[in-house]
């Protein structure tokens, strides 16, 4: 295998590694709830993407409350 004839200087190593730095994430504003989100991602706060309710968080929360209420009533009846 080939071996380097001379030691690579820190300047040369630094130049080679100059593109490895972490980049800042660009943030967008959710049109629904106005919170900061990553671009092209579903909003974690309201569940909307492209003006469409992807996660249906409101429906899930309502169903969860109904299940909890039914469980409490079943517990009282026992």
Please tell me which residue, 62 or 14, carries the higher pLDDT value: 14
Residue 45, in any domain of the structure: yes
Residue 63, in any domain of the structure: yes
Residue 36, in any domain of the structure: yes
Identify the domain containing residue 56 by its residue range: 25-77
Residue 19, in any domain of the structure: no
38-60: average pLDDT = 86
Q: Are 43 and 30 in contact (CB under 8 A)?
A: yes
Residue 4, in any domain of the structure: no
Residue 54 has pLDDT above 90, yes or no: no
Residue 37 has pLDDT above 90, yes or no: yes
Residue 9, in any domain of the structure: no
Residue 70, in any domain of the structure: yes
pLDDT of residue 71: 92
Tell me the whole-structure pTM to 2 decimals.
0.51
Which DSSP state fits 19?
A: T
pLDDT of residue 7: 94
Residue 14, in any domain of the structure: no
Name the domain count of the chain.
1
């Amino acid at each position: 295998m080939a071996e380097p004839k001379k030691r690579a200087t820190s300047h040369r190593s630094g130049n080679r590694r100059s593109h490895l730095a972490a980049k800042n994430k660009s943030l967008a504003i959710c049109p629904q709830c106005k919170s900061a989100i990553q671009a092209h991602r579903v909003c974690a706060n309201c569940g909307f993407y492209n003006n469409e309710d992807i996660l249906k968080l409101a429906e899930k929360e309502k169903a969860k409350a109904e299940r909890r209420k039914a469980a409490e009533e079943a517990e009282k009846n026992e």
